[in-house]
Chain A
Amino acid sequence: MSFAELKEGERLREYLERYERTELLRFLTCGSVDDGKSTLIGRLLHDTGRIYEDHLAALERDSKVHGTTGGGLDLALATDGLKAEREQGITIDVAWRYFATNTRSFIIADCPGHEQYTRNMATGASHCQLAISLIDARKGVTTQTRRHAFIASLLGIRHVVAAVNKMDLVGWSEDRFREIEREFFLYCQRLGISEPAAVPISALQGDNVVRRGTNSPWYAGPPVLELLESVPVDRPSPDAPFRMPVQCVIRPDLDFRGFAGQIAGGSVKPGDRVRVLPSGRESRVVRIARAQEDGGDLPYAAAPQSVVLTLADEVDCSRGDVICCVGDDPAVTLGIECDVVWMQEQPLVPGQRYLLRTGTKTTPCTVRRVRWLLDVDTLETSPAESLRMNEIGRVQLECEERVVVDGYRDCHATGALVLVDRLTNATSGAGMVRLPTEIGARRAHWETQAAETLERADAKPSLVTAEERERRWRHAPRTVLIYGPPKSGKTRAALELERQLFDAGAAVVVLDGQALRRGVSKDLGFSDEDRSENLRRAAEIAKLLNDQGFTVILAMVAPDPAARARARALIGEGRWEERGMGVASSPEH
């Protein structure tokens, strides 16, 4: 038995000590009712003994009234909590489920797959370390599957599992499963999801959910539950820089002044030097205070523990401040750039003011600009004036007070923010801070230094000089970047220019962004960092070709002015030219 029960002959004390030590994994399930998501959850709960007899009896009653299994037990109904949901056979809101096995405790965020999916899924994903996406084996990878994987990656989930359901309806065909698996993995790769997995299942019959099925001898991997029990749980690393947003100051008498908060990143011990931001005052941790009856002061604490710290000096520090390690500082800033998931009817538009909440700090802020809108289906960006409900885009905010933030990829707890409507108090949007310095951004290798042991490029000069090349081709080589959103006509413009230059006798080459992605850049996705890196690689190739006397035409999306400026610097001002297609000239030009 894999679920958390008392083993035969096991003493209660041993059991409780064992159970107490189990790790917690939070995961979300996404997909629509038709994909069998609720059935999968019902199956997990049922087969791990989490559906009690009285609940089962209620389920049997409900199955007869609302069920879709012809009066038989409809496990899907175990998860639809609200009256309207049961009556309409749909799931409206994220529902939370709990079960435990011998090795782990699990919290499921059950996210509906249709209406409002972006808002609901982002909400669920913000709490989770793993996502299960339901795929109907008959339909294969759909637009919806791609959306789920994308939102999971946006919220920083590294483990995404495709549960390929209804395998019984495709005769447990291995070919069909492998085809879906291949397509899914390829897409995950584009998104930078490093640990995808796929499992062939039948939620209805239970194959490969809790127990291995007999219908798929060709599948050597683990059933879903075994996967859930074995994937490493992503937690904030104790070696990460220390961060603790201060929730409140505990001051019961004149002798004690403690700063209470939940550690957002890294770890802390007495004696550590710390800095209080945004003020920047330095001090030293004296105690991680805890009551005698709970075991006394702690010698060490790490994220996500809730603690009380006392400091050596009388520094000014209150709610909203962040206590950090010295060195490896977060950003202290008025301006924030972030990816926003918009969640309310009224659209986000520049000029509007909201309350921004990050860490324990709340401050008014103004929307400066929507830099782009992201198409969740194609992963392409396009210019936009606003964000509507369930849309995702890159937004620049201006805060009224300085805030302390990290890049979301570096530290979720200090890189996340929500926007609250000042009139209705509604939670309007959720944002993930993007900093130019964060880990993910370093995927773009503009700053990376080549190995020092390499010979200098001019150590063995070519026997053909640049002047000779120019005379032969009757022109000085250049690099022309034609950029713009997809379908803006940049490839056509590039090809026309190539024709023109070729006819004039020039040696000319077209490098198309899409073509690069098929080879040179096939490891890259469509995040802005990855787009930036794709542009860098194109520019490096163009530079090599320019040096050989060739003129290069680059046709690329290249939405980021900063990345274009870097490409220009790489090629050299005198050789560079850029033409924007279908974009209004932005202030950077």
Chain B
Amino acid sequence: MSPTLSHLDELEAEAIQILRETAASFERPVLMYSIGKDSTVLLHLALKAFWPGKPPFPLLHIDTTWKFREMIAFRDETARRLGLDLRVHTNQEGLAQGVNPFASGSKVHTDVMKTQALRQALDMWKFDAAIGGARRDEEKSRAKERVFSFRDRHHRWDPKNQRPELWNLFNTRINQGESIRVFPMSNWTELDVWLYIWKHGLPVVPLYLAKPRPVVERGGTLIMVDDHRMPLEPGEKPRMVSVRFRTLGCYPLSGAVESEADTLDKVIEEMLRAKTSERQGRLIDHDQSGSMEEKKREGYF
């Protein structure tokens, strides 16, 4: 009686092993909760890894103040429903300086409100391990990322000087002030994530499902007008278009796709027929060639 483990079971077992290693090896781990589909799966895996106990670490959300309103509602509801310790951090200096995606541009906005904010939060709470839902198949430079990825005192990543990782014997040793980024879902693909959500019936932010939403077009990309801060051209009026999102981030930087897929099944079906990658709608990835690598070196997730 040995039913072969399916590939999804195997990925789950691997992720749980990594989460438990993190909890056992670090003094102050934290789970980076960014509300999207990957975070949804990551959180579910963490709940499973420590059941019947609770995950022995808080959740951290870096709030740029430009997230979709539905994301924030979903975040707060999730933390309340599961009774988890949710920490939210916003870069107050950046906010005071008026940094925003429109006036400052996506590059500066991302650096100040995401990367710098993350570094502030990790320093403030003295977290020594930050668990994230990033996957190696998302982007070229992520393909060489370790599962336990070392960061120096300045939270910097040195891609050319990474620790070799063999078997599941992870090297979790760090000195004071250094930290580790942990990626339990390194080996998952976008399809695996959706399949896991589907199989376990996990709730996701409604923005992943198509619905008529107010959008404007910016450089060939559909941007949803989520609040009054979106500057409109003189005479411009948002159109109601049935759209959904493949990845979620700051609303001015997240491209919507036109779609009628209003159920999870339909979304997955559309994805299976898709000819473009999920990060295509992410404006911040296109600032320059190799830009993800640059951002990761600086401490971006």
Provide the bound-state CA to CA distance between A127 and B49, in Å: 22
Provide the bound-state CA to CA distance between A454 and B131, in Å: 65
Q: Contact at B171–A420, with CB atoms within 8 Å?
A: yes
Interface status of B162 (Cβ within 8 A of chain A): yes
Q: Contact at B163–A427, with CB atoms within 8 Å?
A: yes
Q: Contact at B276–A52, with CB atoms within 8 Å?
A: yes
Q: Contact at B274–A15, with CB atoms within 8 Å?
A: no
Chain B's interface size range is 35 or more
Q: Which of A97-105, A364-372, A391-399 interfaces with chain B?
A: A97-105
Which of A22, A94, A100, A416 contacts B167, CB < 8 Å? A416
Given contacts A52-B274, A251-B53, A305-B13, contact A123 B187 (CB under 8 A): no
Interface status of B159 (Cβ within 8 A of chain A): yes
Q: Contact at A425–B159, with CB atoms within 8 Å?
A: no
Report A's interface with B, CB cutoff 8 A: 4-6, 12-13, 15-16, 19-24, 52-55, 58, 61-62, 79-84, 86, 92-98, 100, 104-105, 107, 119-120, 122-123, 126-127, 235, 238, 247-248, 250-252, 256, 258, 260-262, 267, 289-291, 294, 300, 302, 304-306, 308, 319, 343, 355, 357-358, 360, 412-413, 416-418, 420, 425-427, 430
Chain B residues 172 to 226 lying within 8 A of chain A, measured CB to CB, are 173-175, 186-187, 189, 191-192, 195, 198-200
Given contacts A93-B144, A420-B171, contact A21 B49 (CB under 8 A): no
Majority secondary structure, A binding face: mixed
For B269, list chain A residues within 8 Å (CB): 6, 12
Q: Contact at B159–A93, with CB atoms within 8 Å?
A: yes
Q: Contact at B143–A238, with CB atoms within 8 Å?
A: no
Interface status of B5 (Cβ within 8 A of chain A): yes
Q: Which of B20-28, B77-85, B95-103 interfaces with chain A?
A: B20-28
Q: Contact at B164–A81, with CB atoms within 8 Å?
A: no
For A417, list chain B residues within 8 Å (CB): 169
For B4, list chain A residues within 8 Å (CB): 23, 235
For B229, list chain A residues within 8 Å (CB): none
Which of A21, A97, A267, A306 contacts B143, CB < 8 Å? A97
Q: Which residue of A lies closest to B196 (CB)?
A: A20
Which of A96, A123, A256, A358 contacts B136, CB < 8 Å? A96
Provide the bound-state CA to CA distance between A417 and B275, in Å: 43
Q: Contact at A289–B52, with CB atoms within 8 Å?
A: yes
Q: Which residue of A lies closest to B277 (CB)?
A: A52
List 29 contacting pairs A-B, 8 Å CB cutoff, sorted by A: A21-B6, A24-B7, A52-B275, A53-B275, A81-B144, A81-B293, A83-B290, A86-B290, A92-B160, A96-B143, A96-B186, A107-B187, A119-B164, A123-B164, A248-B23, A250-B50, A252-B53, A260-B20, A260-B49, A261-B20, A291-B52, A294-B200, A304-B14, A306-B16, A418-B167, A420-B171, A425-B175, A427-B165, A430-B166
Provide the bound-state CA to CA distance between A422 and B144, in Å: 25
- 0/1 string, B15-59, CB within 8 A of A gives 1: 011001101100000000000000000000000111111100000
Q: Contact at B6–A302, with CB atoms within 8 Å?
A: no
Q: Contact at A93–B2, with CB atoms within 8 Å?
A: no
Q: Contact at A20–B17, with CB atoms within 8 Å?
A: no
Interface status of B273 (Cβ within 8 A of chain A): yes
Q: Contact at B199–A53, with CB atoms within 8 Å?
A: no
Instruction: Apart from A248-B24, A304-B10, list 16 A-B contacts with CB within 8 A.
Output: A6-B273, A20-B195, A81-B141, A84-B160, A93-B144, A93-B160, A95-B143, A105-B192, A123-B165, A126-B166, A247-B20, A289-B51, A360-B24, A413-B167, A420-B173, A425-B174
Q: Contact at A294–B48, with CB atoms within 8 Å?
A: yes
Q: Which residue of B lies closest to A94 (CB)?
A: B144
For A300, list chain B residues within 8 Å (CB): 1-2
Q: How far is the CB of B175 from the nearest CB of chain A, in Å?
A: 7
For B126, list chain A residues within 8 Å (CB): none
